[in-house]
Amino acid sequence: MPLAADSSWHGVVSYLVEQRRREFGIRMALGAERSALVRSAIRYGLGPALLGTVIGLAAATRLARANTTLFAGAPAFDLPAFLTSAAILTLIALFAAYPPARRIANDDAASALRSE
């Protein structure tokens, strides 16, 4: 299933970045580089995704152990599958965080400060 431009994670990250619009406007007015603003917004959007991925990996290892008792022949721990799924989820979060970050960085400081 292809990712929609209005996916739920994109909406959440867009909302979170929009809440910090005034802060980004102040940083732009003080001379922050646009690339630093983009990195900051992406990092802000990736934080919850990475936390969820770590929690999900911990839960998956516990459930995989329980799986071996329920299903004969099920692997106890499939590291490649776990790492692949974690990498895919992190990339999806990165792609969802990038457009709002670019939109904020392309804004001018005056309109960002006037937005509230």
Encode pLDDT of 65-91 as tens digits.
777 777 777 677 778 888 898 899 889
Q: How many domains does the chain have?
A: 1
pLDDT higher than 50, residue 1: no
Record the pTM.
Answer: 0.70
Q: Which domain holds residue 80?
A: 8-110
Asked, for residue 54, whether it belongs to a domain, the answer is: yes
User: For residue 1, is it within any domain?
Assistant: no
Is 28 inside a domain boundary? yes
Contacts of 53 (CB under 8 A, 6+ apart): 86, 89, 90
pLDDT in the model for residue 112: 63
Render pLDDT for 24-69 as a digit per residue (tens, 0 to 9): 888 888 888 888 888 888 888 888 888 989 998 888 888 877 777 7
Is 115 among the domain residues?
no
In the prediction, which pLDDT does 6 show? 46
